[in-house]
Amino acid sequence: MEEVELAPPPDEPTWLRKASGSTGRLQIKPRDAYMAAFTDVDAPDYSVAETGADMSEAKPEPVAPPLDLSRLSLAPAGSDMGQAVQTVSKAPPDTSHLRVIPE
């Protein structure tokens, strides 16, 4: 079994979420040959937040669309709206001249 040397734990101010809210790019100096293989990886600088902290970005309040609803009205609840006007259907086509030929 290979023995792995662990890095010391970070001090408290660096592992808590930064108050500025800006997320930069992660800059790490390699401590060994294994870690040096990942120096070209472009990773965001994520941090851990306090318990119960809001981690989502602030979203602007939604703006209502400018609609003109002054010409619309609502019928009272349970009222009869009437029957929709049906269009007069045309007579079906004449198929009396068609016949089925037996095989």
Quote the tokens at residue 17: 């979420």
Q: Three-state DSSP class for 16?
A: strand
Structural domain containing residue 13: 8-50
pLDDT given at position 73: 87
Assigned domain for 59 exists? no
Number of domains in the chain: 1
Checking if the pLDDT of 12 tops 80, the result is no
d(CA 7, CA 28): 12
Q: Which tokens in the block code for residue 91?
A: 């007579």
Classified as helix, coil or strand, 44 is: strand
Tokens 């390699």 locate to 30
Residue 64 lies in a domain: no
Of how many residues is the chain composed? 103
CB neighbours of 45 closer than 8 A, spacing ≥ 6? 23, 24, 25, 26, 27
Looking at the domain assignment, is residue 39 inside a domain?
A: yes
Q: In this predicted model, what pLDDT tens digit does every residue of 22-69 receive, in sequence order?
A: 556 666 777 888 877 777 777 777 777 888 888 788 889 999 999 999
Which residues, at least 6 apart from 18, have a Cβ–Cβ distance to it below 8 Å? 47
